[in-house]
Amino acid sequence: MDGGTTIWLRSLTLEEARNAVARFFPIALAESGETVKSKTWREERLSALLSGTFDGLLVSPAMAHRLCRLAAEPDIEMGSNQQDGGWAFRKASARSAF
């Protein structure tokens, strides 16, 4: 070993993940400087994150953090993808989902 430290992060339970998202999403909004969007917009974003669609990703602390950051960005559209039954994130000015 090279003298470094290895830290293993465990996956969250689904309940832990949803609680963490509910607590972190308002922080991500504040950090993004989002003040223009309505309360309804914010509630819809959080509801989408907690809808069950992202459950497989939310149990990873890093992915839960990233999804909150994406959902908090006002220039990123977040919409239901009817073909896949999932959600798509895309820049408001771009046509392709990422």
Place of tokens 């408001």: 92
Quick check: 9 pLDDT over 70? no
- What average pLDDT does the chain have? 79
Average pLDDT, integer, range 26-32:
88
Average pLDDT, integer, range 37-45:
86
Q: 18-28 burial, b for 16+ CB within 10 Å, e for fewer? A: bebbeebbeeb
Whether the pTM exceeds 0.75: the reply is no
State the total domains in the chain.
Answer: 1
The structure tokens listed for 38 are 């309505």
Q: Does a structural domain hold residue 33?
A: yes
| 79, containing H or E segment | strand 76-81
Q: Does a structural domain hold residue 27?
A: yes
Q: Does a structural domain hold residue 46?
A: yes
Identify the pLDDT of residue 8: 62
Q: Is 29 left (phi over 0), alpha (psi -120 to 50) or beta?
A: alpha
Quick check: 3 pLDDT over 80? no
Rounded CA gap, 83 and 71, in Å?
Answer: 21
* 62: containing domain: 14-91
Q: Does a structural domain hold residue 22?
A: yes
Average pLDDT, integer, range 1-19:
77
Report how far apart, in Å, the C-alpha atoms of 4 and of each of 10, 17, 46, 66, 86 are. Answer: 19, 29, 38, 26, 40
Residue 94 binned pLDDT confidence (cut-offs 50, 70, 90): very low
